[in-house]
Structure 1
């Protein structure tokens, strides 16, 4: 079972339906026990970083996420959910993140359209099981802020939007995708499928 974490700020149903189409049971939940019992968890997110962190704190889900990661089972943050994995954000003030990965979320700066919205090519940077069977192509982004990594080895893939932009991150059992895999056609679904396969490996172990 895959827990889709409900803290009041996510595109829960589109993610849930994508997981179910891939043959997995998806449960939209805010229950600590259900999350900890899950084979894998997905942290979606739509909205402002500070509001999302406040919701995670008020609901107790921040601590649940820490406990889940300590189990060694896979966690995937999507869009804002990926940004929340990092140390801090400057979105509408200074906000602390979950600090599961070191780095900072900053606003795009430049004389170009913000938010970054639309289909952009995914540039794979490393050989990783997440990319098994993946063909080159585009995925769908919607964001005004992007992650600046402290640890280069956490970077798995980028895209280009007037600069190199962090697109996929990963360390041990913590992963993030800045784009929406559930809205990114065949490539997005393949990436999601490869992440979900990691939940099967964690069960076997």
Structure 2
């Protein structure tokens, strides 16, 4: 069986090389690129993101990534967002009083965590969604987080009887926030699987297994 072909989106975000290495470690054939052919035709697309919501959105727009991500999702082609790569999939981000529009794939606002210590930096358990494919076999493991903002409320309206609501995994730091979402071809984690040791490797392996 051939290795799944994964493109890591190269749009100027940091932390890209570690994501490439982690995916190669679990057996993927990885390309680092923002070229449309590479982004649209890969078996899976990974959208990393570190730093400010607005900065990441600008970087994605500069390489026409929002359109390409949207095309993949509409065509049922798998996409995995990491950290701010999860956040930009929501409706908006609010940082220092400035609101920035997100992709709007899911309802919700990215806001500063309500915790005594921010940023949230270090290892944390999660409450995995029932039936999660990403967390299969690692439901009780810890994952590595580095963030000051997150989505702390989830309100999803099922508009069609056959529609399956997304599976949402939660974590807690001064209050609950979304740690991961699985929604058909579109998945994302607030934590960094590429920095989460064996548990993170298993999560990436779970994801790439669905690309074959």
| TM superposition score normalised by structure 2 | 0.89
Q: Say how many residue pairs are matched.
A: 199
The 5-angstrom pairing of residues 31-50 of structure 1 reads 31-50=35-54
Q: 2:14 aligns with which of 10, 32, 39?
A: 10
Conserved? CA contact 2:9–2:47, under 8 Å: yes
What does residue 80 of structure 1 align with? Answer: 84
Q: Give the counterpart of 2:114 among 106, 109, 120.
A: 109
Distance in 2, matches of 1:166 and 1:7, equals 25
Pairwise CA RMSD? 1.5
Residue number in structure 2 paired with 1:192: 204
Is contact 2:7-2:38 (8 Å) kept? yes
Deviations, residues 134-187 of structure 1 (Å, cap 9, x unaligned) = 251211000000113232843431112121121111211111100000111111
More helix by share: 1
Question: Is the deviation greater in 76-85 or in 149-158?
Answer: 149-158
2:102 corresponds to 1:97: yes
How far, CA to CA, are the matches of 2:55 and 2:186 in structure 1?
22
Q: Give the counterpart of 2:193 among 168, 177, 181.
A: 181
C-alpha spacing 1:135/1:49, structure 2 compared with 1 (3 Å): closer
Preserved contact between residue 74 and residue 174 of structure 1 (Cα < 8 Å): yes
Q: Which residue of 2 aligns with 1:203?
A: none
SS at match of 2:117: coil
Runs (5+) with no aligned partner, structure 1:
201-205
2: CA distance, partners of 1:52 / 1:140:
20
Paired residues of 1:22 and 1:193 also in contact (CA < 8 A): yes
Q: Deviations over 1:28-63 (max 9, x none)?
A: 101011111100000000111111111211221111
5+ residue gaps, structure 2, are 158-164
Deviates more, 1:112-121 or 1:143-152: 143-152
Alignment of 1:89-168 (within 5 A): 89-92=93-96, 93-110=98-115, 112-147=116-151, 148-151=153-156, 153-168=165-180
**Separation in 1, partners of 2:178, 2:110:** 10
Structure 1 match to 2:23: 19
